[in-house]
């Protein structure tokens, strides 16, 4: 990446963080972990396109630099602006959700990023949750990551309130307060089955949701 | 106007003197903590004193700037308080437009009315126009689920955080005969008697409080309340020279504002208990949120405004 582009990406990143702070007064609640630079997979609930920038914004700079969100290529490659934001501001690991169109295995790309030492932000529900349930069933990816990298902390991360701040289809964001809660890290047990682990991870994440349902 | 500014500076110096005493007391207490350990209560106290410094400095600057400065400062407080309140209320996507209107139209319009000094409109804009318009906007989206709860909670949020708070800067606009250029002094008067009354109520309650006012809701006691209100009345008397009320009028107004404010604090404790939160947010270090800081002023301001308007204009 050339220097001017990198500066532009840094500047855009700062802008996104300031915007997130201003609109939602976004705050991190480190319940189960300390904000220290350790390799982690932050797995979060997904109700809005703003989820990933919120988590990214509350990470302290040292952690943010080593953290890459896993995001959908079809969304982040659509326009030049999104391409710039996805690839250079967030340095996302872009994966293709459409099995018929893709040329590389998404799981292999994710594992390669972990191999390089990056921390990741993932949304194990796979899609934005528009329904009344707090969480959709998790995809298997989280389990595969935990299996392949048993030392990496899998951190449940609850983003509260974003679905009211910017529901799908609305144009104006409401300046409500958004809180990102980090829970205690999980690891896949010695002989834990995929379904048992995913159920445990889902329960750990749901437990971080604020008691008040607004 | 120079007299007023001189009085404002005198008040600011007096309050800074009190804060300096509180800071020195804290630093002194720190030297008595065993080295290598820390006293959490003392550290909380020190963070609070720092937040008070920030508030006093901001309010003083706003008062010195004059009407526009005060209106902008309290509009900002209302915005922060409304955001804390609406974060905890019931809402659905059908309310998105009415909530956006609350933040971006109702709040600015109310403060523009205050800046204009349009007393009649200040009193009815939210209770009449906003309260009728916003439910219409929500209803048009055709979602009836928990409709009454959603509308009621949004309206109370506006009432508490915009309507009530806007009555603090509205004090500047009261046409009190012979006091027109000095009415801005009513703002520091209200803030000082309510805040110091709360502080002394807290200290007295910790020392001699026995009978809880609302057991299970709030640690406030009748003994603490009586001490706090009495202290507020005495402070109000000492400050009567900046008011049009006269000595006993100032004592009575201070006691009323302080009393209403303390009960307001209990009402907000009930809301927090209902929603299962300890503080409204974490935006003010050591004090929770803006609503935690403003709860007594929210209740005291409209009563203080209307009593002043009724008896002195």
- Phi, psi (rounded to 5 degrees) for B227: -60, -45
B98 touches chain A (CB under 8 A): no
B272 touches chain A (CB under 8 A): no
CA atoms of A56 and A64, how far apart (whole Å): 6
- pLDDT for res A213: 47
- Provide the residue range defining the domain that includes A19: 3-133+140-206
Judge whether A213 lies within some domain: no
B140 and B256 part of one domain: no
B79 touches chain A (CB under 8 A): yes
B119 and B242 part of one domain: no
Judge whether A196 lies within some domain: yes
From B173, B206, B232, the end of a domain falls on: B173
From B127, B145, B173, the end of a domain falls on: B173
H/E stretch holding A193: none
Count the domains in chain A.
1
Select from B214, B192, B195, B224 the least CA-distant residue to B287: B195
Nearest C-alpha in B relative to A214: B90
Most B-contacting residue of A159, A177, A209, A211 (CB-CB within 10 A), to test interface: A177
B87 and B169 part of one domain: yes
- pLDDT for res B1: 54
Most A-contacting residue of B96, B137, B279 (CB-CB within 10 A), to test interface: B96
Which residue of A27, A174, A177 is in closest CB contact with B99? Answer: A174
Judge whether A128 lies within some domain: yes
From B11, B32, B65, the end of a domain falls on: B65
Reported ipTM: 0.82
Judge whether A7 lies within some domain: yes
H/E stretch holding A182: strand A179-182
B103 touches chain A (CB under 8 A): yes
- pLDDT for res B309: 94
Chain A residues in contact with chain B using a Cβ-Cβ cutoff of 8 Å? 25, 27, 161, 164, 167, 170, 172, 174-177, 211-212, 214
Chain A residue numbers with beta carbons less than 8 Å from the beta carbon of B103 are 174-175
- Provide the residue range defining the domain that includes B266: 174-313
Q: Which stretches in chain A have pLDDT values below 70?
A: 1, 211-214
Residue B108, min C-alpha distance to chain A (Å): 14
B252 and B128 part of one domain: no
B220 touches chain A (CB under 8 A): no
B149 touches chain A (CB under 8 A): no
- pLDDT for res A214: 44
B313 and B182 part of one domain: yes
Q: Which stretches in chain B have pLDDT values below 50?
A: none
Which residue of B87, B89, B99 is in closest CB contact with A177? Answer: B87
Count the domains in chain B.
3
Chain A residue numbers with beta carbons less than 8 Å from the beta carbon of B79 are 175
Residue A200, min C-alpha distance to chain B (Å): 26
pTM of the model: 0.88
Nearest C-alpha in B relative to A169: B93
Q: Could B89 and A214 be called an inter-chain contact, meaning their C-beta atoms sit closer than 8 Å? A: yes
User: Where residue A9 sits, what CATH number does that domain have?
Assistant: 3.40.1130.10
Both tokens of B300, joined, read 């005291």
B125 and B151 part of one domain: yes
Q: Could A25 and B83 be called an inter-chain contact, meaning their C-beta atoms sit closer than 8 Å? A: yes
């Amino acid at each position: 990446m050339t220097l001017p582009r990198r500066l532009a990406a840094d500047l855009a990143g700062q802008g996104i963080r300031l915007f997130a702070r201003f609109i939602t007064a976004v705050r991190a609640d480190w319940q189960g972990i300390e904000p220290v630079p350790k390799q982690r997979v932050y797995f979060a609930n997904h109700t809005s396109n703003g989820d990933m920038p919120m988590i990214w914004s509350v990470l302290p700079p040292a952690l943010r630099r080593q953290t890459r969100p896993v995001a959908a290529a079809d969304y982040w490659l659509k326009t030049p602006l999104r391409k710039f934001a996805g690839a250079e501001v967030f340095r996302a690991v872009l994966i293709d959700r459409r099995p018929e169109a893709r040329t590389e295995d998404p799981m292999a790309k994710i594992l390669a990023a972990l191999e390089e030492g990056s921390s990741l932000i993932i949304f194990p529900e796979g899609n934005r949750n528009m329904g009344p349930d707090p969480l959709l069933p998790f995809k298997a990816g989280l389990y595969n990551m935990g299996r392949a990298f048993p030392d990496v902390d899998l951190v449940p991360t609850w983003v509260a309130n974003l679905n009211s701040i910017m529901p799908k289809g609305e144009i104006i964001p409401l300046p409500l307060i958004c809180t990102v809660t980090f829970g205690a890290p999980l690891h896949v047990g010695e002989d834990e089955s995929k379904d048992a682990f995913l159920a445990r991870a889902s329960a750990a994440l749901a437990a971080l949701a604020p008691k008040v349902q607004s | 106007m120079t007299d007023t500014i001189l009085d404002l500076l005198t008040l600011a110096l007096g309050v800074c003197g009190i804060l300096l005493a509180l800071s020195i007391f804290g630093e002194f207490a720190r030297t008595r903590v065993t080295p290598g350990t820390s006293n959490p209560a003392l550290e909380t106290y020190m963070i609070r004193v720092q937040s008070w410094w920030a508030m006093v400095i901001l309010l003083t600057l706003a008062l010195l700037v004059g009407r526009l400065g005060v209106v902008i400062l309290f509009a900002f407080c209302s915005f922060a308080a409304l955001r804390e309140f609406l974060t905890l209320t019931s809402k659905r996507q059908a309310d998105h437009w009415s909530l956006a209107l609350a933040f971006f139209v109702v709040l600015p319009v109310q403060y523009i009315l205050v800046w204009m000094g349009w007393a009649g409109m200040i009193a009815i804009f939210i209770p009449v126009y906003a309260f009728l318009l916003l439910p219409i906007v929500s209803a048009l989206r055709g979602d009836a689920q928990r409709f009454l709860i959603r509308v009621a909670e949004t309206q109370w949020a506006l009432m508490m955080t915009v309507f009530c708070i806007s009555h603090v800067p509205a004090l500047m606009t009261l046409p009190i005969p012979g006091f027109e250029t000095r009415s801005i002094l009513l703002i520091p008067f209200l803030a000082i008697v309510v805040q110091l009354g709360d502080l002394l109520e807290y200290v007295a309650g910790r020392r001699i409080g026995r009978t809880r006012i609302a057991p299970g809701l709030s640690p406030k006691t009748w003994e603490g309340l009586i001490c706090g209100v009495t202290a507020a009345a005495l402070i109000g008397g000492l400050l009567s020279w900046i008011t049009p009320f006269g000595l006993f009028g100032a004592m009575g107004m201070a006691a009323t504002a302080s009393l209403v404010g303390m009960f307001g604090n209990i009402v907000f404790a009930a809301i927090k208990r209902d929603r299962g939160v300890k503080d409204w947010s974490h935006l003010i270090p050591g004090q929770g949120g803006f609503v935690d800081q403003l709860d007594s002023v929210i209740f005291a301001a409209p009563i203080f405004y209307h009593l002043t308007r009724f008896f002195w204009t």
